[in-house]
């Protein structure tokens, strides 16, 4: 699975769209000493505790926090906070890597319907190493890698203390930045393909925003199942390179958004059955046009609205094609911890293997 998107990384750098969000907050951790950049740079020692391997543990964490909602570059602050004692059933973790997702930005801005209320530490996903375990913890050990079991963990920090039940152990078989990015976008892609249509090999789906993180995961997961994808993207600089990359991932057709509804598009897909599933993360006319391509009883699933324009569908699609229009988010099960644990366990095992 290819991972993309901004990332707080190990080596005092960040990838792609980190920009202002990562300014002043980069994580540098050593697996042999379990120290942090914050601890290494201070003039006074922060080491008062030791874990079961004899590594010194910091008593202070560096966190990114917002006290009120607003533009990230206006409200995010880098702060120090004391690490609380590890109580029974809890573990201390050191964050290895944490991505930046659009939902994270929306939560900071206060325009996302769900998620932690300010003041809060942003970051819904990431990967961490267990540095210490409290009494009664049997499912995790020092040195294990873990990911949050549910959104809203607050991963934009160097360390956190949390109940072990709120974390899922993962194998160290992938690069940390890949593991850090598995919980949201690839899991969204997996559920989109599983929950809304009974797809089989040879079926066709169409998606807009196909060069986004979810779209790229959809391409790869669909290709594994023999499902053909029609991938709609905007024509931007490096368009040809983007098309080449997406086809390398397994995309069957990659086409510009302006082609939808034209005779040229109809010729392009003339040898394919009509899509059974349309995945929309854009909204506006883009959503309308991919819905028009659906076959009888097709399903339009909206999981994003990057254009911030409403989804508008012709009445004829409902009357004559009997299409349905639904919404999806990985946060739908946020209130159901048991369901969330099961979903993440299933998704991660499939994706990691």
Task: Indicate which residues carry an active-site annotation.
Answer: 112
Query: Any bridge partners for residue 300, and if so which?
Result: 278, 325
**Distance between CA atoms of residues 108 and 67, nearest Å:** 10
- Classify residue 56 by burial, with Cβ atoms within 10 Å: 0-12, 13-18, 19+: middle
64 φ, ψ (degrees, to nearest 5): -100, 130
Q: Which residues sit opposite 61 in a β-bridge?
A: 81
**Which stretch of DSSP H or E encloses residue 233?**
strand 228-233
Q: At what angle do helices 239-249 and 213-224 cross, to 10 degrees?
A: 40
- State how far the Cα of 174 lies from the Cα of 170, in Å rounded to an integer: 10
For tokens 């560096």, the residue is 62
Tokens representing residue 43 in the block: 């003039």
Residues 6+ apart with CB under 8 A from 106: 112
Q: CB–CB of 38/12 below 8 Å?
A: no
Q: Which of 282, 278, 269, 270 is nearest to 298 (CA)?
A: 278
Judge contact between 98 and 29, C-beta under 8 A: no
Give the tokens for residue 266: 């109809």
Contact status, residue 147 vs residue 174, Cβ threshold 8 Å: no
Q: Which residues have a Cβ under 8 Å from the Cβ of 30 and sit 6 or more positions away?
A: none
Report how far residue 243's alpha carbon sits from residue 2's, in angstroms, rounded to the nearest whole number.
15
d(CA 323, CA 319): 8
In angstroms, the CA 334 to CA 323 distance is 28
Measured CA to CA, the distance from residue 84 to residue 92 in angstroms comes to 9
């Amino acid at each position: 699975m290819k991972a993309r998107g901004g990332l707080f990384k190990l080596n005092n750098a960040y990838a792609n769209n980190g920009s202002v969000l990562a300014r002043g907050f980069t994580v540098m951790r050593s697996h042999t000493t379990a120290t942090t950049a914050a601890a290494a740079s201070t003039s006074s020692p922060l080491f008062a505790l030791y874990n079961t391997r004899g590594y010194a543990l910091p008593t202070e964490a560096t966190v990114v926090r917002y006290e009120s909602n607003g533009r990230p570059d206006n409200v995010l602050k880098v702060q120090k906070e004391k690490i609380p004692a590890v109580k029974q059933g809890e573990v201390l973790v050191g964050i290895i890597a944490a991505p930046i997702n659009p939902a994270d930005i929306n939560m900071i801005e206060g325009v996302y319907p769900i998620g932690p209320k300010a003041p809060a530490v942003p970051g819904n996903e990431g990967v961490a190493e267990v540095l210490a375990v409290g009494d009664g913890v049997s499912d995790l050990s020092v040195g294990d890698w873990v990911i949050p079991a549910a959104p809203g963990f607050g991963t934009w920090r160097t360390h956190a203390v949390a109940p072990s039940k709120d974390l899922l152990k993962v194998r160290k078989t992938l690069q940390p930045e890949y593991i850090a990015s598995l919980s949201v976008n690839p899991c969204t892609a997996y559920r989109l393909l599983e929950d809304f249509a009974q797809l089989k090999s040879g079926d066709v789906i169409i998606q807009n925003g196909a060069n986004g993180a979810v779209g790229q995961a959809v391409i790869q997961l669909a290709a594994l199942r023999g499902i053909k994808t029609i991938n709609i993207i905007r024509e931007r600089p490096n368009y040809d390179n983007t098309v080449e990359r997406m086809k390398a991932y397994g995309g069957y057709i990659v086409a510009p958004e302006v082609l939808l509804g034209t005779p040229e598009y109809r010729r392009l897909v003339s040898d394919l059955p009509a899509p059974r599933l349309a995945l929309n993360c854009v909204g506006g006319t883009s959503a309308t046009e991919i819905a028009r391509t659906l076959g009888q009883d097709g399903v339009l699933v909206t999981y994003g609205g990057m254009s911030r324009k409403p989804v508008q569908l012709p009445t004829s699609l409902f009357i004559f094609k009997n299409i349905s229009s639904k919404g999806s988010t990985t946060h739908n099960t946020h209130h159901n911890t048991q369901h969330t644990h099961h979903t993440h366990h299933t998704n991660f095992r499939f994706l990691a293997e």
